[in-house]
Structure 1
Amino acid sequence: MIRVEALYRYPVKGFTPERRDELVVQPDGRVKGDRSLAFAFADVESPDDTVWPKSRGLALMGVPSLARIAVAYDDAARHVRLRVDDIDVDADIDDPAGRAELAAAVTAYLRTTPDARLLEEEGVLPFAFVGDGRTSRFQDRPQGYVSLHGAASVADVDAAVPAPVDDRRFRSNVVLAGTAPWEELEWAGTLRIGDVAFTVQKPIERCAAITANPDTGVRDARLLRVLTSQFGQATPTLGILLLPVDGGGTIRVGDEVTVIRA
C-alpha cells in the first residue's frame, strides 16, 4: 500500500520546514500557510506580489547557510521564532519592530557565514520581512502546486553519494512510503490522497537548493550532476507537482494514496 509518510509546510520561503500531521490544500493548489512569509531584498518593488522568483529575496538555492536556521511560526499568536547559534528571536509579525528584529537577526547570522558576500551586493540590504502570514504567495511558480516525492527515490539518491541525503533536501509538501524508487515520475492522470483528488502536472526539475546539507548549511553533494549522470536524467528531476480537483481539502499522515490512472 502506498501511504503518506510525512507532510511539510514552509511558512518562510527558503527556510526550514515544519512537519505537520495534516495539510489543508486550497482550491488554487497551494498549501494553506505555505510560503506565506519571505525575506525580500531591499530593491524589490511590490514585494507582496504573488509571483516570486528566487532572485527577489533569500532562498536556499543561492544562500545555503539558511539551512541551519530553525524557524517556527505560530499561526494563532502570529509570532515567528528564529534560532541559530547564539541568536534566538521570537517576534510578533504584526509589529513592524518585530519584523525588523527578525530581519536584523538573519543579517547578523549571515555575516558570520560564507554567504556574507551576498550582503555586500547592491540592493540586498536591508532585508524586508514580507507577507501576511496567512496567504500562500511566495512560491517559485505563478500557479500553486502541491509537491510530492517518494521516500524510496530519495533513498536511491542517498545510496549513490557519500554525503547524507534525506527528504529535507527536496522540500516537498508530501513524502510517500510504499512506492518503488522513481515510480512517481511515471504517474500521469489522477491520483487520490485520502479523500482529496489531484491531477499530476509535471515532474519537478531541481535547483541548487538540494546540494545544501540541511544540518550544516554547506554544499556537500553535487546532486544535480548525480541525477543526470548516475540516474540518466536529461534534467535533474525528483518528485512531481499536483493540482487538486474539486476544490482541494485536507490530507493527513497515514492517508492511503491511490493512482487512478497511471
Structure 2
Amino acid sequence: MPRVVALSRYPIKGFTPEPLESLRVQPDGRVAGDRVLAFRFADAAEPENRDGLDYWPKAKGLALQDFPALAAMRTSYDDATARVRIELDGALLVEAGLDARGREQLAHAVTDFVLTTSDARRLQRPGRLPLVLVGDGETSRFQDRPQGYVSVHSRASVEALGEALPLRIDDRRFRSNVVIDGVDAWEELDWTGAVGIGDVTFRAAGPIVRCLATHANPDTGERDAKVLTTLTRAFDQQEPTLGRLLLPGWPPSEDDAGGVIRIGDEVHAG
C-alpha cells in the first residue's frame, strides 16, 4: 500500500524545507505555514494578485533556482511565537521575530551570508539590495502559481532518476510537501481524479515541470547534478518533469477540502 514517508513545508519561499510529522492542509489547498515569508529584492513589486489569488514570481526575490547557496542553510519557523531560526553548518546564524527590528536582523544575516558565496554577484546587481523580508507569517501567499496546491512525488521516481545520472539523489532537491513510497517510478504522473492521503481528499492536477533549483545539492548548495537534461533525455520527456500538483477537494468544493496529513498515511489514487 502506498504511504507517506516524508512531509515538509517551506516557511520562507525559496529557502530550505522544514521537515514535519504532519501538515495541515487549508481549504484553499495550501499548507499552513508554507511560503508565508519571502525575501524581496529592493526594486521588486508587491506580490501580484490574479483572479483574487496571491502570487509571487520567484524572480522577484531570493530563491534556490538563482541562489543555490541558500541550500546550505537550515530554516525553521515557530508559528506560535512568529520567530524564524536559520542555522548554518550546525550553528545558529540568526533567530528573530517578525517585528521591524527582527525583519532587519534576518535580512542582514541572510545578505551577509549570500555575499560570502559564489552567488554574491547576483545579489549585487542593481536594485536588489537591501533585501526586505515580506509576509505576515500566517498567510501562505508566496507560491509559484496563483492557485493553492500541495506538491507530491514518489521516492521510486527519484531513485530512477538517480540510476540514470548515476548519482545518489536526495528527495529534498524536489521541494515537495509530500513524499510517498510504495508505487512504481513515475506512477504519480498517471493519477487522475481523486487522490486520498489519509483523511484528506485532493484532485490530481498537472505534473511539476522542474527548474534549476533541483541541480543544487541540498547539503552544500553546489550545483552537482544535471537533473533537467537527464529527465528529458533519459526518460524522453518533453519538459523536465518529476512529481505532480494536488488541488483541494474532490469533487471541487471548499466544504470537503483541507485537513491534516501525517507520515504513515495511506495514499489512494486513480
- Contact 2:39–2:131, Cα closer than 8 Å, also in 1: yes
**1:27 and 2:61 aligned:** no
Distance 1:97 1:48, change over 3 A: farther
Query: How do residues 200-219 of structure 1 correspond to structure 2 at under 5 angstroms?
Result: 200-219=204-223
Paired AA for residue 170 in structure 2: D
Selected match of 1:167 from 162, 165, 171: 171
In the aligned structure 2, how far is the partner of 1:248 from the partner of 1:82? 29
Pairwise CA distance, 1:141:
0.3
Aligned to 1:247: 257
Q: Which residue of 1 aligns with 2:108?
A: 104
Q: Which residue of 2 aligns with 1:129?
A: 133
Q: What does the per-residue CA deviation read over 1:78-115, in whole Å, with 9 as the maximum and x for residues that have no partner?
A: 1111122576211111x211110110111111111110
Shift of 1:238: 0.3
How many residues are paired up? 259
Alignment of structure 1 residues 91-240 onto 2, 5 Å: 91-93=96-98, 95-240=99-244
Q: Helix, strand or coil: the match of 1:114?
A: coil
Cα displacement (A) at 1:15 = 0.8
Verify the 8 A CA contact 1:87 1:105 in the aligned structure 2: no
Following superposition, the deviation at residue 48 of structure 1 comes to 8.1
Partners of 1:88 and 1:253 lie apart in 2 by 29
What root-mean-square deviation, in Å, do the aligned CA atoms of Structure 1 and Structure 2 show?
A: 1.3
Give the letter for the 2:214 counterpart.
I
Question: In the alignment, which residue of structure 2 is the partner of 1:40?
Answer: 40
Deviation at 1:119, TM superposition (A): 2.2
1:9 is matched with 9
TM, length-normalised to structure 2: 0.93
What is the alpha-carbon distance in structure 2 between the residues aligned to residue 2 and residue 195 of structure 1?
A: 14
Equivalent residue letter for 2:222: V
Query: Residue 188 of structure 1: SS of its match in structure 2?
Result: coil
Given the two structures, how large is their TM-score scaled by the length of structure 1? 0.96
Moved over 6 A (4+): none
C-alpha distance in 2 between matches for 1:159 and 1:131 = 40
CA distance in 2, matches of 1:247, 1:167: 27
- Cα contact 2:47–2:55 (8 A) shared by 1: no
Contact 1:163 1:220 in 2 (8 A): no
Q: Distance in 2 between matches of 1:176 and 1:27?
A: 22
Letter in 2 for 1:183: E
One-letter amino acid of the counterpart of residue 45, structure 2: E
Report the CA distance between 1:45 and its aligned residue. 2.5
Please name the residue that 2:266 is paired with: 256
Name the aligned partner's letter for residue 178 of structure 1. G
Q: 2:93 aligns with which of 88, 95, 112?
A: 88
Question: Can you give the 5+ residue segments of structure 2 that lack an aligned partner in the other structure?
Answer: 250-255
CA distance in 2, matches of 1:153, 1:46: 36
